[in-house]
Amino acid sequence: MQNQLKTAIIQTDLVWEDAKANRKNFEQKFEELPSDIDLIILPEMFTTAFTMNAEAVAETMDGKSVAWMKNHAMQLDTALMGSLIIKENDKFYNRMIFAFPDGYIVTYDKSHTFSLAGEDKVFEAGKEKVIIDYKGWKLCPLICYDLRFPVWSRNTAEYDVVIYVANWPKPRIAAWDALLKARAIENMSYAVGVNRIGIDDKQNEYCGHSAVYDVLGNNITPIRPNKDQIETVTLEKKHITYYREKLKFLNDKDTFTIM
């Protein structure tokens, strides 16, 4: 078990529907990272931005971007995660890819597709929650709109960190801030949110507000809004253990089954 998890958040602009350009941008940012990073987190749809033009830009699990993630995870000796558009069995998924340092892949498909933008009409909704065991840490990967659904996010698996990657627009950023903090407090876990910046081709504006909240709801990341920024933060297992044993809030959680 590793008691610390050194995590890098990359908050940046995305090039519309241009996977090659986006991969190049992230490659340049990888060069700025220290060598002892355990986990790198990229935004939602980091290869294309939040487009519904899935037929034109979707890749497969054997495509260039998944291979790119595996290769860079191995080269950097770190885990690398972010979501992209995947086509599988003639269906499209907003899929989180988690590449381990040895190139092994775990995936999570976004459960709550964003009906306001028509995502539900293009993408298949995921049906399974995923918990990733990595270096003695339990990580719960979720995607953007999932943040608004506390039952789906509920810590029934004793995870240590819940991670949201997003293209969350500026007009609703107050909700992002409030809900991300709430998910940390109610689940007594770290809550990590990685959001993009910039303006996409649909004229949606994004202002970042990427953050890491500890189990008490304190924002422990000095990430500035609207800034192209890489931030590293060290998560501490003893912080989680201390407050869970002291406060015991999760012992009183409701028992339920998602149908």
Q: Where are the alpha helices (DSSP H) in the chain?
A: 19-30, 54-57, 64-76, 119-122, 150-153, 173-187, 237-247
d(CA 17, CA 40): 22
The answer to whether 144 is a known catalytic residue is yes
The pLDDT value given to residue 258: 84
Catalytic position from the list 70, 110, 129, 170: 110
In the numeric block, the tokens 């990888």 are attached to 30
d(CA 161, CA 82): 15
The answer to whether 59 is a known catalytic residue is no
Pick the CATH number of 4-250 from 1.10.150.20, 1.10.10.10, 3.60.110.10, 3.40.50.1370: 3.60.110.10
- Closest by CA position to 111, among listed 80, 84, 85, 149: 149
The pLDDT value given to residue 218: 98
Catalytic position from the list 17, 119, 129, 144: 144
How far is CA 208 from each of CA 45, 128, 211, rounded to the nearest angstrom? 14, 28, 9
Q: Where are the beta strands (DSSP E) in 20-168?
A: 39-41, 79-88, 91-99, 105-109, 132-134, 137-143, 161-166
d(CA 76, CA 31): 10
Catalytic position from the list 17, 29, 44, 181: 44
The answer to whether 88 is a known catalytic residue is no
Task: Provide the residue ranges of all domains of the chain, joining segments of one domain with +.
Answer: 4-250
pLDDT (tens, 9 = 90+) of the chain, 259 residues, equals 799 999 999 999 999 999 999 999 999 999 999 999 999 999 999 999 999 999 999 999 999 999 999 999 999 999 999 999 999 999 999 999 999 999 999 999 999 999 999 999 999 999 999 999 999 999 999 999 999 999 999 999 999 999 999 999 999 999 999 999 999 999 999 999 999 999 999 999 999 999 999 999 999 998 999 999 999 999 999 999 999 999 999 999 998 888 7
